């Protein structure tokens, strides 16, 4: 068949209509989705209930492209993930317990505990983790988030944390996820180019945790921050089987 001028134009019109149709459909859907999004519930901070977030420290976005820093309580992704871990342990059971929070962060609610002590190294109520000026079994809950990588002798710190922990309670311990590398790399000084960290922990740190925390179970717990969709991990270290059962949902 010979393509006449008329048939060529007819074919072009059909192709054009198809193109317009395929282009217009997603646009319409996008428009509807945009309108509907206004009515969807906004991601809510599980610590303060806030719905407004801004860029994180150093102007960063979360790895998922979302703003991570809650304007209400200044929580970041990890704090909201750790709040979920604490909820799994049932804070209603903490009422008679003494909490030590190492470095300020909004992971726990001070109202949960009988007493709540904050220590900020080099400032308010400063404690040296390598030689903690407190008696054995002084605390039922110890919260130690992203500190161990700043301590010159982390093994001494682990021994001391174990010593001041009452066997009925638990230590919530976190640092950047060690599962990214096999072996810990320790460069022996606080490197300003690495956020003043002395080391990057590898998977082998888990054997050291188990050894230093004699009599305790070390549970690696992963939770998801609902605001950014990012997951983070912490260790719940405890000699109390009831706590480990609560974590496991038994």
- Residue 137 near Zn ion by CB under 5 A: no
Q: Which of 56, 73, 109, 138 forms a contact with Zn ion (CB under 5 A)?
A: 73
Residue appearing with tokens 């610590």: 47
Strand 139-145 with 98-102, pairing? parallel
Helix, strand, coil abundance in the chain, percent, nearest 5:
35, 25, 40
Q: Which of 62, 68, 69, 70 forms a contact with Zn ion (CB under 5 A)?
A: 70
From CA 62, how far away is CA 64, in angstroms rounded? 5
For the window 5-44, what string marks contact with Zn ion as x by the rule CB under 5 A?
Answer: ----------------------------------------
Helices vs strands, H then E, count in the chain? 5, 10
Considering the complex, what minimum distance in angstroms separates the CB of residue 245 from Zn ion? 30
Q: What are phi and psi of 172, to 5 degrees?
A: -100, 110
Contacts with Zn ion by CB under 5 A: the residue count is 8
Minimum CB distance to Zn ion smaller for 75 or for 238: 75
- Residue 48 near Zn ion by CB under 5 A: yes
Are 102 and 142 within 8 A, CB to CB?
yes
CA atoms within 13 A of residue 100's CA, in its CB half-sphere: 27
Considering the complex, what minimum distance in angstroms separates the CB of residue 19 from Zn ion? 47
Which three-class secondary structure state does DSSP give residue 71?
coil
Minimum CB distance to Zn ion smaller for 43 or for 202: 43
- Binding region for Zn ion (CB under 5 A) out of 67-75, 174-182, 201-209, 216-224: 67-75
Q: Which of 43, 56, 67, 72 forms a contact with Zn ion (CB under 5 A)?
A: 72
Interface residue list for Zn ion (CB under 5 A): 45, 47-48, 50, 70, 72-73, 75
């Amino acid at each position: 068949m010979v393509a006449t001028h008329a048939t060529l134009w007819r074919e072009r019109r059909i192709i054009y209509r198809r193109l317009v149709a395929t282009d217009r459909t997603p646009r319409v859907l996008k428009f509807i989705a945009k309108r509907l999004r206004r009515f969807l519930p906004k991601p809510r901070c599980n610590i303060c209930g806030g719905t407004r977030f801004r860029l994180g420290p150093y102007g960063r976005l979360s790895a998922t492209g979302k703003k991570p820093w809650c304007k209400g309580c200044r929580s970041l992704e990890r704090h909201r993930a750790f709040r979920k871990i604490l909820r799994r342990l049932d804070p209603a059971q903490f009422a008679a317990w003494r909490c030590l929070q190492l470095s300020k962060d909004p992971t726990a609610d001070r109202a949960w505990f009988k007493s709540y002590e904050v220590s900020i190294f080099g400032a308010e109520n400063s404690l040296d983790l390598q030689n903690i000026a407190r008696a054995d079994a002084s605390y039922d809950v110890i919260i130690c988030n992203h500190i161990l990588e700043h301590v010159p002798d982390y093994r001494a710190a682990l021994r001391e944390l174990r010593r001041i922990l009452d066997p009925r309670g638990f230590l919530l311990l976190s640092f950047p996820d060690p599962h990214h590398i096999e072996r810990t790399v320790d460069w022996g000084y606080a490197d300003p180019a690495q956020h003043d960290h002395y080391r990057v922990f590898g998977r082998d740190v888990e054997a050291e945790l188990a050894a230093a925390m004699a009599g305790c179970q070390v549970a690696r717990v992963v939770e998801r921050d609902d605001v950014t969709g990012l997951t983070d991990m912490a260790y719940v270290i405890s000699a109390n089987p009831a706590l480990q059962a609560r974590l496991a949902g038994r």
